[in-house]
A = this chain, B = another copy of it.
Amino acid sequence: MYSLIPVGRVRSPLTARGGPRQADEGAPAAWLELDARYAPAARGLRPGDEILLLTWLDRGDRGVMEVHPRGKPEAPLTGVFSTRSPDRPNPIGLHRVRIAEADGETRFRVDALEAIDGTPILDLKPVLGDVSER
């Protein structure tokens, strides 16, 4: 067992599960608000950067092993490791976003993020090239 510490929160107009499912389906812009103590870790993040945002999907059901993808009952039951369902053993969300604006050292506006207001932020990582990890 390992412990995660939120480094900040998502601020978004989204307030409930079941909204847009992917960026191309109309997720809204959002703010990433990091705790002040993480300002040194955020140093160097700039508008235009493409990043991977890791979140904690705190409403995910950790006992779920198989789902009907995208909540469609007609879709065949699928192991959660082959889906992006928030219901999974370790409900870590992964979102590719672009930083659109920085406000001080610890607030960053991003395009099109499907994450509920208040979602804990775990990590930010740079996007790497195609042949390496993302």
Contact = CB atoms under 8 A, between A and B. Distances in A.
A28 to B, nearest CB: 14
A66 B81 contact: no
A84 B45 contact: no
A47 interface: no
Contact of A90 (B54, B66, B126): B54
Protomer copies: 2
Contacts of A22: 128, 131-133
A70 interface: no
Among the interface residues A88, A89, A123, A133, which one has the most CB atoms of the partner chain B within 10 A? A133
Nearest to A22: B132
A83 B133 CA distance: 12
A2 B56 contact: yes
A81 to B, nearest CB: 4
Interface string A90-134: 101111110000000000000000100000101111111101111
A44 B79 contact: yes
A16 interface: no
A129 to B, nearest CB: 8
Interface string A63-99: 0011000000000001111111000111011111100
